[in-house]
Amino acid sequence: MITKVHHVGVVVRAIDEALPFWRDTLGLKLHKLELIEEQGVKAALLSVGDSEVELLEPVVSDNGVARYLERKGEGLHHICFQSDDVERDLADMKAKGTEMIDQVTRVGIAGRICFLHPNAMDGALIELCQPLDDYAVQHPAGAPEAV
Amino acid sequence: MITKVHHVGVVVRAIDEALPFWRDTLGLKLHKLELIEEQGVKAALLSVGDSEVELLEPVVSDNGVARYLERKGEGLHHICFQSDDVERDLADMKAKGTEMIDQVTRVGIAGRICFLHPNAMDGALIELCQPLDDYAVQHPAGAPEAV
């Protein structure tokens, strides 16, 4: 079950140039800034109530974020919904025939995650996530075997 | 001050065709479906935790939503942050030189609202809102005179 908007992902050309607007003009609190080498992005997480804005800057030229920036320019990239059981929700969606980018969950910035395919929902890119501490309670032995 | 993500706006070609995904597959609760003639849109509001997804379908061809659909196709359109004082936040942003679409607040689906210009923040369209009942406490005589 989806419980809330976990974050909204925004693709930017340069986090350094974007931060003054999001942090200083909008007044959102920056709580994490990191380079995620294996995903080829720099990410800045800013708190807004119980949710976050996730600024994403590509640091390589051959990943989804870089291609999005080249094709569409800066802007809203995805919405991430928090699930109380991401494995069950992924299984339910696949059973309903929903087109997925990720056929199995993986670890991302927001916890245990999977992306739906934009074809599934009118061109909007949607991510599901479950924070890792919550996930570990349901899956103490780690992720279930991929089927 | 911004207090939370009020909603994320998604432009769709036809709400009737989009609803099965958002309501039935994602399981979000539809709590309002309305035709807003003066804005030229049909809107569906779905609850997700303390926030909403707002599906927008243009019913005319000459407004921003229709032009967005024609130019970019379906997808994430804007993010709306709730403010605890939308007049003060608008004044602050203008004082900081932020480019605005709306120079004064107006009544929208989410309450008393204003849109920032996408130039202001890296191509992402941002709306500020304050629910009308909350706004009325601070402005019992209505909106302040436009300056």
Which among A15, A45, A50, A121 is the top mutation candidate for probing chain B, defined by the most B β-carbons within 10 Å of its own β-carbon? A121
| Distance of alpha carbon B56 from alpha carbon B9, whole angstroms | 7
- pTM, full prediction: 0.91
Counted across chains A and B, CB pairs separated by less than 8 A come out at 120
Task: Kindly state the average pLDDT of the residues A100-104.
Answer: 93
Could you read off the pLDDT tens digit of each residue along chain B, which spans 147 residues?
999 999 999 999 999 999 999 999 999 999 999 998 888 999 999 999 999 999 999 999 999 899 989 988 889 999 999 999 999 999 999 999 999 999 999 988 889 999 998 876 666 788 899 998 889 888 888 887 654
Nearest to B78 by CA among B101, B107, B112: B101
Say if residues B112 and B129 touch (Cβ distance below 8 Å): yes
With a CB cutoff of 8 Å and minimum separation 6, the contacts of B116 are B93, B98, B99, B100, B101, B125, B126, B127, B128
Nearest to B18 by CA among B71, B55, B52: B55
In chain B, what residues touch A98 (CB-CB under 8 Å)? 21, 25
The confidence score (pLDDT) of residue A121 equals: 63
The confidence score (pLDDT) of residue B147 equals: 47
Backbone angles phi, psi at B141, to 5 degrees: -95, 10
| Distance of alpha carbon B127 from alpha carbon B114, whole angstroms | 6
**Three-state secondary structure call for residue B33:** strand
The mean pLDDT value of chain A amounts to: 90
Q: How far is B144 from chain A (nearest CA, A)?
A: 22
Burial class for B106, CB neighbours closer than 10 Å (0-12, 13-18, 19+): exposed
When CB atoms are compared, the residue of A2, A8, A74 closest to B28 is A2
For A78-90, the pLDDT digits (tens) are 999 999 999 999 9
The confidence score (pLDDT) of residue A147 equals: 46
Cβ contact (<8 Å) for B28 and A79?
Answer: no
The confidence score (pLDDT) of residue A77 equals: 92
Nearest to A100 by CA among A109, A90, A108: A90
CATH topology of domain A2-138: 2,3-Dihydroxybiphenyl 1,2-Dioxygenase; domain 1 (3.10.180)
In chain A, what residues touch B5 (CB-CB under 8 Å)? 5, 8, 48-49, 51
The confidence score (pLDDT) of residue A145 equals: 67
ipTM: 0.90
